[in-house]
Structure formats: C-alpha cells, structure tokens
C-alpha cells in the first residue's frame, strides 16, 4: 500500500494505526469517520493525489521547461493567450461556421512536443481525422469552438489542458503540446 500511495518514496508511510482502526471498525459495523459509500472514492482520490504529487516531483524539470516555453511563447507577436492558458496563432483565418459541443469535426493535425518530437499526425497519415468536439483533450475542445471552418491554427496547449499527469506513448506526464490544426468541416451528429 505504501508503494501504491507513495511510489518511489520510502520516507512516507501509511499510518498503520488509523488503517487498522478503520478496518476493525468496518468489520464491527462501528460508526466510521466517513460514510462507507464515500470511502471508496475518497481512498481512490487520495491514491491519485499521492501518485500525481510523486509524478510532479519526478517531472519537475519538464514542468518548468513547459512553463518557460509558454511564458516565452506568449510574448511572440500574433500569439493569443486565453484565460485558461491555451495559446494559439492564426495561420489562416477561415470563414465558415464555428463548431459547438454537439458537432463532429473533420480536421488535419500535426502534433509535437515542445522539443519538436512528432507524436501524432493525420497529415503524415494522409487522411483527416473525424471526432466529436468534446471527445478530445480540453485544449482542443476550447480551440475548436473558436475556429471557423477553413481555419488553420497553431495551438500551444499547457499540460493541464492536455493529458496532465497521464502518460500517452511518446507523451510524458505534464507535457505541453503543440498542434498545427486545419478545421476542414463540421459534421452534425
């Protein structure tokens, strides 16, 4: 349990007395500190928080590099920074409709890490992708709902609007992402 809660940190330990008291109290049907229905989600949340905290420490240099990149990028002419932290620049302004949450979109995209490593590209595959506006990372959803059809934008997505602490193949936890996105069409669901 210590390894699950505090992976790689042998200095942190679960309070065994509290754990044992909780287990015995459950077996004896005693009144617990929290409701049984809340216990599972509470413990899961605590485990997730501990794991994310450990990952933040492990990837602190990457987080700092991403933050510095976004700060420098925000100073560039033509880069728009939204309150969420999402940044974009308009490469080509479209004149079509703007997608909503209920739409599906057809797009071409090219995704890289801030160091230029390509992790995914419909352009390289030679075939546009189709997906729901809300079925993608939050940074994409936010940008798509601002883009008219026919637009080409470059998105600079902070990790909290991308995959956060999750690892996705070539994308390490807390990675900021860059996408070249062309919104080709809107397809109603």
In angstroms, rounded to a whole number, what is the distance separating the alpha carbons of residues 4 and 100?
A: 40
Q: Which residues are catalytic?
A: 109, 119-120, 137, 163, 179
Confidence of residue 189 (pLDDT cuts 50, 70, 90): low
DSSP assigned state of 30: P
Output the pTM of the full model.
0.79
Domains of the chain from N-terminus onward: 2-58 (no CATH), 80-188 (3.10.50.40)
The answer to whether the CB of 178 falls within 8 A of the CB of 105 is no
In angstroms, rounded to a whole number, what is the distance separating the alpha carbons of residues 154 and 144?
A: 12
Q: How many CB atoms lie within 10 A of CB 67?
A: 15
pLDDT value of position 48? 83
pLDDT value of position 175? 97
SS3 2: helix
Main-chain phi, psi angles of 130, to 5 degrees: -125, 130
Specify the residue for token string 């390894």.
3
């Amino acid at each position: 349990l210590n390894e699950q809660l505090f992976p790689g940190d042998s200095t942190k330990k679960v309070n065994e007395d509290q754990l044992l008291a909780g287990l015995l109290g459950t077996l004896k049907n005693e009144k617990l500190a929290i409701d049984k229905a809340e216990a599972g989600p509470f413990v899961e949340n605590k485990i997730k928080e501990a794991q994310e905290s450990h990952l933040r420490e492990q990837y602190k240099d990457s987080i700092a590099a991403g933050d510095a990149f976004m700060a420098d990028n925000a100073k560039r002419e033509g880069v728009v920074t939204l309150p969420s932290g999402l940044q974009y620049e308009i490469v080509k302004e479209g004149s079509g409709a703007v997608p909503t949450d209920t739409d599906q979109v057809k797009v071409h995209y090219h995704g890289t890490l801030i160091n230029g490593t390509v992790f995914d590209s419909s352009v390289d595959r030679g075939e546009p992708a189709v997906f729901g506006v809300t079925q993608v990372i939050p940074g994409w959803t936010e940008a798509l709902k601002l883009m008219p059809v026919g637009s080409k934008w470059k998105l600079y997505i902070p990790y909290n609007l991308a995959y956060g602490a999750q690892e996705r193949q070539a994308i390490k936890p807390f990675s900021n992402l860059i996408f070249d996105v062309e919104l080709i069409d809107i397809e109603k669901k």
